Structure 1
């Protein structure tokens, strides 16, 4: 589920770039997140009718849902805003690469929350981080304005992963997903009203990008993240989700005419290796080798 979410988000960078040919960043974010939230309402209704939304009838459910939606939605708004504005000044591939730095930030921030992080996760993070370097940093790499915004956004994406991990055990995942989308959409619309000018003609021109970014990138992928993180360690989730950088590169090649060098392909391979290492405890690998030797 996390790998599928990563693929959807990776190709979503292409839709986000194309959508801003007709809409400004906050208007685009507001529309795509409200579309994503609305797309979940039928599912919430269906699950409620079947009695499969745990804790909905509890007296403390509404306060927990409001708190979780506000915290996750607020962090999501900040992260998505830095990413979307940054896309005005950098390529879809670079945005995907730099956003992937949260693979290193999640376990580091997790230490502050007293999360248990095994040695295999740290090794996986290190390998994936080296892969990210080869994937994104050229011989004459310099941090542009757009890349700098993506770097700040990466910190908030890491915080978002940890926030989702915290609240998925307290709020029904699909309700948390819908709530955070609504909070993010509302904040984006408020900023857009102050700073931007949006026309119906622009919305109509961007309908295809909005449909993918709203229904698929938001409605499907973020929900996959919330559901999957209920059963995944946050550091493992960060490494798997960071593979969106690989899919962003593929999307850039296929749809935006961007190129991927042999160095970048080597980085992709290292990121895949890092993901696998993070999922296999070192004691399991050592035991397997000992059994083979015996």
Structure 2
């Protein structure tokens, strides 16, 4: 029987990842008043105002970064904060929430692949199969079920933007694993957000004016505040607390809640249409990611049980 504490952890993980799904909806509201880089800057500027004092209070004994560490944090900032979020909010402006969320759902698979090449982590046969299945799902989503478009290379510009978003987030995650060897998640993310926000400044200077800020709708400001506080700070703390309690392998499974949440909210709040090809593609993506992660988790559990039985 599942313990009450475990149920609470699972519930908090499901809630935090569903909040990530709401970022796709908030992005749609924000782009009605602001350009992509401006939204990204405002989101992380407000998040930094919260995270830096939090880090100084809760992480008083943190290590002092070396020059190499600062360089790593800068790379984290430019990949996961600057480039990824510009692409994310461009997708919010030019693509449907359903397409964007299902496309980005392939992230865990690409992270596994990059970890294999750059961190020399093991890539099992089941991981490889899961990646192929998820990739097929993405192809179905991109082409809206018309697979001949892949052969004819009839991509839309926003498809390439989404692809860059997936790649940069995967790079951010792999680099993050290096940072986490020395620093905890709060410190690594806070420094990354600091650098990413600074790198966004040149883009913002070309977009923002006093008139834009004063004429922005209330819904756009509320969307940015929601992404700053709930999507970036609250859900981050909840998710990493879940990792601390049950481990990264189990916690990563809950990432699959994100596209489901985004699709449900998009159909309810934005009247987007969930087409049959999107459904088929989603099943392939979520199925492939789940197959890669869940089977790995079960294998670890079985090994642990065998060791315990032999003691």
From 256, 259, 264, the counterpart of 1:245: 259
Aligned to 1:129: 135
Q: How does 1:29-178 map to 2 (within 5 A)?
A: 29-48=40-59, 56=62, 58=63, 60-61=64-65, 63=67, 66-76=70-80, 77-113=82-118, 114-134=120-140, 137-140=143-146, 142-178=154-190
The CA deviation at 1:282 is: 9.3
Aligned residues: 278
**Closer, same or farther in 2 for the Cα pair 1:197/1:191, shift >3 Å?**
same
| Contact 1:69/1:179, CA 8 A, preserved across alignment | yes
Q: Matches of 1:240 and 1:126 in 2, distance apart?
A: 20
The CA deviation at 1:120 is: 2.8
From 195, 203, 206, the counterpart of 1:191: 203
The CA deviation at 1:125 is: 2.8
- When normalised by structure 1's length, the TM-score is 0.79
Structure 1: 5+ residue runs without aligned partners?
A: 289-294
The CA deviation at 1:246 is: 2.7
More helix by share: 2
Which secondary structure does the structure 1 equivalent of 2:87 belong to?
Answer: helix
**Closer, same or farther in 2 for the Cα pair 1:273/1:149, shift >3 Å?**
closer
**Two-structure CA RMSD over aligned residues (Å):** 3.3
The CA deviation at 1:243 is: 4.8
The CA deviation at 1:91 is: 1.6
The CA deviation at 1:36 is: 1.5
| Contact 1:82/1:150, CA 8 A, preserved across alignment | yes
Q: Matches of 1:17 and 1:84 in 2, distance apart?
A: 8
Q: How does 1:263-282 map to 2 (within 5 A)?
A: 263-277=277-291, 278-281=293-296
Aligned to 1:15: 26
The CA deviation at 1:88 is: 2.3
Aligned to 1:291: none
